[in-house]
C-alpha cells in the first residue's frame, strides 16, 4: 500500500495492504469500499502471531457483508478455524501438494559448528561447492547487515534482505539476486515465505528457525520448479535440543557432521 493513497482515491481493481495500514486509510475516509467483491487473506497463519484477530474484526466491519472470501495458509493450526468462521459460514477447504513431499526432494544436512566459526565455515562451503545462488537465514535484521558487509570484504557478492529495507531496495536486491549479481543473500524469515526464485542452489540455516514449520518454509526456497537443491543447518551445543525438536516435528533424522 505504501504511499499510494492518491492512487486509491483515483480508483483501483486490486488493493494489497497490511491490516494496520488499511485501517489507517479507512479512518481517514480516503476510499470507497462499497464495491468490494473479494476479501483475500494471505499467509493467514502468520497473521495469528501478530495479534491479527482484533484488526480483522475492524476490517470486516469496514467492508461489504456480501463478498467472496479466500484464505491462504501453509499450515493449519486450530486458531485458523477461528479466523475461517469469522469470514465465512460455508468454507470449502482446498489442499494442495503436501509440503513434506516437496521437502523430500531436498538434500538436508546438519553441521555442528561453534558460533564463532560459522562465518569461516560458510565461506569454505561457498568455495568448495561453487554455488551460484545461496540464501542464508539469520535470526535478526542487524545480523544480516553485519555479516553481508563482512562477506563483501572477503570478495563475496553478498547482500542483506530484511524488513527494515525500503520496498524499492528490497525489490532491487531480489532482482540482483535473481540475476546472480548477488550470490549470497543474508535474510530474516521475511524471505521464508513467498520468495519465488527458481535457481537457489542451497539454503543455509545460519541461525535455526523458531519453529518446525518455519524450517519447512525456509528450506522450501530451494529445489523449486523440479530442480534439486540442498539445505544445511548450523547447530551447536546450545541449539542441539531445538534442532532435535525440528527433526521430530518434520519427521526427519539427519546425521551430525563436524
Mean of the per-residue pLDDT values of the chain: 87
User: Has residue 189 got a pLDDT over 80?
Assistant: yes
What's the whole-model pTM score? 0.67
pLDDT attached to residue 238: 95
Helix (H) or strand (E) holding 202: strand 202-205
Helix (H) or strand (E) holding 229: strand 229-235
pLDDT attached to residue 196: 77
Helices (H) and strands (E) in the chain, counts: 11, 9
Is residue 131 within 8 A of residue 183, CB to CB? The reply is yes
* Residue 236 neighbours by CB under 8 Å, 6+ apart: 112, 113, 114, 115
Kindly tell me the sign of the dihedral angle through the C-alpha atoms of 73, 76, 79, 83: positive
Lowest mean pLDDT among 21-30, 109-118, 149-158: 21-30
Helix (H) or strand (E) holding 233: strand 229-235
The torsion angles phi and psi of 129, rounded to 5 degrees, stand at -95, -15
Residue 126 cell numbers, joined: 561457498
Is residue 112 within 8 A of residue 238, CB to CB? The reply is no
pLDDT attached to residue 50: 61
Pick from 217, 219, 210: which is nearest to 254 by CA? 219
Is residue 230 within 8 A of residue 202, CB to CB? The reply is yes
Residue 235 banded pLDDT, cuts 50, 70, 90: very high
User: Has residue 8 got a pLDDT over 80?
Assistant: no
Separation in Å, CA 185 to CA 19, 46, 224 = 28, 23, 17
Residue 102 banded pLDDT, cuts 50, 70, 90: low
User: Has residue 175 got a pLDDT over 90?
Assistant: yes
What single DSSP character describes residue 48?
G
Is residue 45 within 8 A of residue 74, CB to CB? The reply is yes
Q: Which domains does the chain have, with CATH numbers?
A: 5-87 (3.40.50.300), 100-257 (3.40.50.300)
pLDDT attached to residue 20: 84
Instruction: For residue range 31-51, list pLDDT tens digits in order.
Output: 888 899 999 988 877 776 666
Neighbours of 50 (CB within 10 A): 11
User: Has residue 7 got a pLDDT over 70?
Assistant: no
* Residue 85 neighbours by CB under 8 Å, 6+ apart: none
Is residue 188 within 8 A of residue 144, CB to CB? The reply is yes
User: Has residue 97 got a pLDDT over 80?
Assistant: no
Amino acid at each position: 500500500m505504501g504511499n499510494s493513497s492518491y492512487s486509491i482515491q483515483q480508483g483501483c481493481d486490486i488493493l494489497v495492504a497490511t491490516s494496520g495500514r488499511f485501517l489507517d486509510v479507512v479512518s481517514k475516509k480516503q476510499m470507497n469500499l462499497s464495491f468490494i467483491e473479494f476479501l483475500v487473506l494471505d499467509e493467514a497463519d502468520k497473521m495469528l502471531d501478530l495479534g491479527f484477530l482484533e484488526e480483522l474484526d475492524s476490517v470486516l466491519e469496514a467492508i461489504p457483508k456480501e463478498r467472496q472470501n479466500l484464505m491462504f495458509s501453509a499450515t493449519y493450526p486450530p486458531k485458523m478455524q477461528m479466523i475461517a468462521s469469522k469470514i465465512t459460514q460455508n468454507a470449502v477447504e482446498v489442499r494442495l501438494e503436501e509440503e513434506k513431499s516437496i521437502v523430500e526432494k531436498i538434500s538436508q544436512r546438519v553441521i555442528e559448528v561453534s558460533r564463532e566459526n560459522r562465518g569461516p565455515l560458510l565461506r569454505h562451503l561457498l568455495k568448495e561447492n561453487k554455488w551460484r545462488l545461496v540464501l542464508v537465514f539469520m535470526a535478526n535484521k542487524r545480523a544480516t547487515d553485519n555479516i553481508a558487509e563482512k562477506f563483501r570484504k572477503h570478495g563475496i557478492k553478498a547482500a542483506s534482505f530484511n524488513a527494515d529495507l525500503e520496498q524499492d531496495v528490497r525489490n532491487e536486491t531480489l532482482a540482483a539476486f535473481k540475476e546472480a549479481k548477488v550470490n549470497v543473500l543474508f535474510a530474516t524469515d521475511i524471505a521464508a515465505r513467498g520468495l519465488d526464485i527458481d535457481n537457489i542452489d542451497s539454503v543455509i540455516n545460519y541461525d535455526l528457525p523458531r519453529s518446525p514449520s518455519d524450517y519447512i518454509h525456509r528450506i522450501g526456497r530451494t529445489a523449486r520448479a523440479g530442480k534439486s537443491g540442498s539445505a544445511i543447518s548450523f547447530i551447536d551445543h546450545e541449539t542441539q535440543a531445538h534442532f532435535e525438536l525440528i527433526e521430530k516435528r518434520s519427521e526427519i533424522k539427519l546425521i551430525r557432521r563436524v
